[in-house]
Amino acid sequence: MPRPPRKTSGPGGGPPRGRHSDSSRGAPPHSRKPDSERARTNRPRAAAPTPKSPSLPPREGERIAKLLSRAGVASRREAERLIAEGRVKLGEQVIDAPSTVLTSLKGVTVDGKPVKEAEATRLFVFHKPAGLITAERDPAGRPTIYAALRNALPAGAGRVMPIGRLDFNTEGLLLLTNDGEFKRQLELPATGVPRTYRARAFGDITQAQLEDLIDGIEIDGVRYGRIDANMERRTGRNQWVEMTLSEGKNREVRRVLEHLGLKVSRLIRAAYGPFVLGNLPKGTAGEVAPRDIEAFRRTLPGGKE
């Protein structure tokens, strides 16, 4: 059973809006546009989203992009890109709108390959070593986490996606799931899932300076939210600092510590929500029990009691 990280201190189209044909309201001849331009102007545009109303019956089915994401084909954003490229079909018909609503994935293919219905959510914890890219491929040819995962994940794990990223030189806990919607939920800052890091840094810093981060900090025009930071131990001018945050902006821990005059020589993610790195060896992975996934989901905004 995972334990929580230690708490420290305190498609429908519609007419174009705001435009009129040349015949409306008696437009003068000199203001008329060429036929080709007029045709472009008068093309239907997507209507604004219809506000949800409790009086409306519940919609049957889900948007195709969401279904593909839930089935682990790709993230929702990546699924939208696949649709835009015409790579998704229902039977022989190309699906050209990510807002297309379907009740199931029966008959749906991506690049000609049938898509399976979503399986039960699975979640894995992986101890990412430093020196791996959190991506499927790297243009520079650097090794990726997927090379290591071939040996780390159990047989039959299927396609998994990382929840958040760890930089090339950052090590520690990386969560992986087959559920694109679950991934998205855990990554959204609004969900507020805490991430805990341990940083080894060189320089001078006081506990009082670290405690000031509880109110957040602005660096070069970027605002970083609440950070719960504490000194773990110090040896000369080297110290280990533990930091818990919930936004997870790009290189946030390194940037904050460097702003405070420290040079980070090692960075480890120790926990993501209630899931902890513990003594998991580098390059290995373990699976979270379904009951623990469901217990965690009940703690998230909108989770079922």
Q: 21-41: b or e for each residue (b if 16 or more CB lie within 10 Å)? A: ebeeeeeeeeeeeeeeeeeee
- Rounded Cα distance, 132 and 142, in Å: 7
Q: With contact defined as beta carbons under 8 Å apart, do 119 and 290 qualify?
A: no
For the four alpha carbons of 288, 270, 159 and 143, in that order, the dihedral sign comes to negative
CB atoms within 10 A of CB 243: 22
**For residue 301, what are its two tokens?**
């905004």
- Rounded Cα distance, 163 and 187, in Å: 7
> Can you list the alpha helix ranges (DSSP code H) found in the chain?
35-41, 64-70, 76-84, 145-152, 180-187, 207-211, 252-259, 290-297
Residues annotated as catalytic (active site), given as ranges: 167
Establish how many alpha carbons lie within 13 A of residue 255's alpha carbon, considering only the half-sphere containing its beta carbon: 16
Q: With contact defined as beta carbons under 8 Å apart, do 75 and 180 qualify?
A: yes
SS3 sequence of 21-62: CCCHHHCCHHHCCCHHHHHHHCCCEECCCCCCCCCCCCCCCE
- Rounded Cα distance, 149 and 22, in Å: 62
CB atoms within 10 A of CB 282: 14
